[in-house]
Amino acid sequence: MPRYFLEISYRGTNYSGFQVQENANTIQAEVEKALAVLYRQSFQLTGSSRTDAGVHALQNYFHFDTELLLDARQLYNLNSILPPDIAANNLFPVSPNTHCRFDALSREYKYYITRKKNPFLQSICYHYPYPLNIEALQKLAAIIPEYSEFTSFSKKNSDVKTFTCNIFFSQWRIEDECYVFYITANRFLRGMIRGLIATMLKVTKGRYAEKEFRQIIESNNNNQADFTAPPHGLFLVSVKFPGDYFKIE
């Protein structure tokens, strides 16, 4: 049966997360509903990266199988059915053995913080009106790729078999009036990035920030981490696949 990848972007403010949940409005549920309206049959979608409630995405993927012959030109019709805060950006026919979650090489996220109150950024940027030490934050960010075990930064009741993540890039930058944290890895745990953000903000207030941050990572105890960073500052920026991935064999 033919398989397709659907590339989407969305503002997560009004959703209880990415994956279908009972009695909750989710990105997957809205996309499945729109596809069913357009093609008059049901679709079972598999997602690439599960974002939490309130988290946004500039790029994410679903894959699904169907006997229908689909065309990217039909995205106009699909977008007319989808709510305004979800966009279908591309549609790719792929090989039947591909998998948008397991075949992804990396995921890149950004987290936005502003110290200045700005009504135009309030839904997409964490307003943190306290002093920020960018040099101290950079030192903590540089520590993160040294580790691969992130039990301390996984929320409780996470349905995973391993807490191992390979971090490829971790850095703070200042862009316009925002402090932006960039992080890229092969995978992330539930709540992991927000846990890293809130913990970095917390420990930089102390005198021995680097030592304390390492101790929290190495404790493998999520009671040591802080998960209070709100979701609306977090964006899934991109999901990367091998270079020839979208060529049909």
Domain layout of the chain by residue ranges: 3-103, 106-237
When the candidates are 3.90.550.10, 3.40.1030.10, 3.30.70.580, 2.60.40.420, the CATH number that belongs to 3-103 is 3.30.70.580
Measure the CA–CA gap between 24 and 22, rounded to whole angstroms. 6
Q: In this predicted structure, what is the pLDDT of residue 246?
A: 74
> Cα 74–53–98 angle (5° rounding)?
45
Q: Annotated catalytic, 159?
A: no
In CATH, the architecture of 106-237 is 2-Layer Sandwich (3.30)
Q: Which two tokens stand for residue 22?
A: 């009972």
Q: In this predicted structure, what is the pLDDT of residue 243?
A: 80
Contact between residue 197 and residue 232 where contact means Cβ atoms under 8 Å apart: no
Contact between residue 150 and residue 220 where contact means Cβ atoms under 8 Å apart: no
Q: pLDDT tens digit string along 135-188?
A: 999 999 999 999 999 999 998 776 788 999 999 999 999 998 899 999 999 999
Residue from 52, 103, 176, 226 carrying the catalytic annotation: 52
Measure the CA–CA gap between 169 and 184, rounded to whole angstroms. 5
The answer to whether 3-103 and 106-237 have equal CATH topology is yes
Helix segments in the chain, DSSP class H: 27-39, 75-81, 134-143, 192-203, 209-219
Q: pLDDT tens digit string along 59-101?
A: 999 999 999 999 899 999 999 999 999 999 999 999 999 999 9
Confidence class of residue 212 from pLDDT cuts 50, 70 and 90?
very high
Instruction: Using alpha carbons, list the distances in angstroms from residue 112 to 6, 71, 88, 120, 169.
Output: 27, 36, 24, 13, 16
